[in-house]
Structure 1
């Protein structure tokens, strides 16, 4: 294959591999505009898990979404249905090969994504170098990238994969097109609870990362204070989080409202029409900045530099670096963040959104 940095290099198809999770998929979306500008005639594909598909398939620059059925494979293996798991994996690999990618970018950096890249049949395969990728398979990539500096936003890390292709990272941008049906429903859910400003709180994080969760009573204290100031405060929740959300709403009192179950795109539209989002380092937090909503993001064990909301106008409330390094993944670390700090950060943002909010 020709030098990918050469101006005459023109692949017919490019596949991005970022399987999960929601926040990580969102932070990989900024790759799309530079790739489209560099290769306007190329088909752009994305390989992801089914749960992330709603965010990817509405991207105007993505020509096709391919699915990796991780949960189905896991269930089959755990239940001893090895033949079914093998059949599903062969079908997935056949789908990728029929797509005939000429370039693959592995933005995941795991054994799973590296193996999928290696088996894709693409002659040009770009991945993170040993020591940068979370998991590394020698020979999976033909071109290796080492982001500089090492400690940087996950968005900037993903954009470093553009270097071998000579695509311009300054063109990076991300959006989620408005979904009319979900937007109408979101507006009705907000209109039913009138207030001077709209605040959406998501107290959850993935079940495997409970150490990211700020204590429910602290969320409730911040929510109650902001509601007492005239804001409409609603609590959103995802799969398995209803009990947590009810606990927050219950401690906060009658001025804070629990939303019904939402789809991913409905949550996006609720966020789009909110004035502020408050939440942990989670998928909903990254979804908030994607749709242009100011964020107050809370960090304990996770690095606020690496996991920052992308773009200006956000606030981060985090434990000290010394606390983070000493505390590891201790869930109690998040309790070091006081409600007063979160309320102050929220009011700073709201003062710019609505000067009368104080």
Structure 2
């Protein structure tokens, strides 16, 4: 059934009657963090609602840290894996499903599972698999991406974004504290500045490593702080270059942390400097103040959620969501951000705490 935006939410709001809700989660870390606001709004509206998230294996530990998620199911790869996943979901007898990703496959699995109500965005030749097709209006498209997930969840009356909320398990947090104490023993007790120089999307979102290093050098020269460099396995080269440029006092943890340990490390930072990336969103969710660096992507749409963050943008360019992974125009915009401006933002945030 195809429905207008209004009728989709008056006739098929999952919070109105369902008790068991499946959310097909998005695949990127940053998008996942932004989507958490909708789950929190749903649970605030319906505390008795049981929420399960379906995601690829790499994101399972993230959702296991969210207090409003009752269970997490692995989304298996390949067509046989999709059929196995659908069979598992069928046995759980969910009342409704919210399909956050835009892909054909993400709608196929709840359809094959026979979930009675299936809500998702129009497009990708999948409307026939959805019982309620959502068409986001232009006002929402111009707002923060988190509002899209809220609208799909029927929470389109929400006007203020609640920061995403994740809780690091106690044993993971204790392990992070121990590792930091060993690596930063010469600066024990100093506020920690995290530097996240990677961006999984690609070079179009990355500020050069030597610029991050320059900011780190200035911070060590003028502020009593400790510096850690964080990132995933694919970020190890840029993180190593960044840490080497800062000097031996910078502790490089890239490629050595699980996603829960990554979150734990970020939660112990006073300030985090990051590109427009999943690390930026996770840092903000974990309570750090973020200095976020944007080239031609739009911080009004994908900026960090919450109060007190600083966004630094490149020279005036036309901004939007569509971005090639490797764009000369985007690289020029990122390169136009000067280290002095980033340093000043971090310095100011450190001295406000």
TM-score, scaled to structure 1: 0.84
Structure 1 residue 246 corresponds to structure 2 residue 221:
no
* SS at 1:115 equivalent: helix
CA deviations on 1:84-140 (whole Å, 9 max, x unpaired) are: xx432211111122222221111212222232343332222221245xxxx452223
The structural deviation recorded for 1:40 is 3.4
Structure 1 residue 177 corresponds to structure 2 residue 170:
no
Q: Which moved more, 1:306-315 or 1:194-203?
A: 194-203
8 Å CA contact 1:33–1:173 kept in 2: the answer is no
The structural deviation recorded for 1:321 is 4.2
Summarize the alignment of residues 53-132 of structure 1 with structure 2, pairs less than 5 Å apart: 53-70=60-77, 73=78, 86-130=79-123
Provide the residue aligned with 1:291 in structure 2. 286
* SS at 1:322 equivalent: coil
Provide the residue aligned with 1:332 in structure 2. 331
Q: What stretches of structure 2 of length at least 5 have no aligned partner?
A: 1-9
Alpha-carbon separation, structure 2, partners of 1:244 and 1:168: 39
Structure 1 residue 197 corresponds to structure 2 residue 188:
no
Decide which of 27, 52, 71 is 1:20's aligned counterpart: 27
CA deviations on 1:254-281 (whole Å, 9 max, x unpaired) are: 3322226111111111111110101111
TM-score, scaled to structure 2: 0.85
8 Å CA contact 2:205–2:331 kept in 1: the answer is no
What is the aligned-residue RMSD (CA, Å)?
Answer: 2.7
The structural deviation recorded for 1:38 is 3.3
CA deviations on 1:146-175 (whole Å, 9 max, x unpaired) are: 143322212122111132x78867695531
Summarize the alignment of residues 335-354 of structure 1 with structure 2, pairs less than 5 Å apart: 335-353=335-353
| Change beyond 3 A, Cα 1:266–1:308 | same
8 Å CA contact 1:236–1:245 kept in 2: the answer is yes
Q: What stretches of structure 1 of length at least 5 have no aligned partner?
A: 74-85, 354-358
8 Å CA contact 1:199–1:232 kept in 2: the answer is yes
| Change beyond 3 A, Cα 1:273–1:63 | same
| Change beyond 3 A, Cα 1:45–1:183 | same
Decide which of 240, 260, 279 is 2:274's aligned counterpart: 279
Provide the residue aligned with 2:7 in structure 1. none
The structural deviation recorded for 1:30 is 1.3
8 Å CA contact 1:300–1:319 kept in 2: the answer is yes
Provide the residue aligned with 2:213 in structure 1. 220
| Change beyond 3 A, Cα 1:32–1:6 | closer
CA deviations on 1:22-43 (whole Å, 9 max, x unpaired) are: 1111111112232223333332
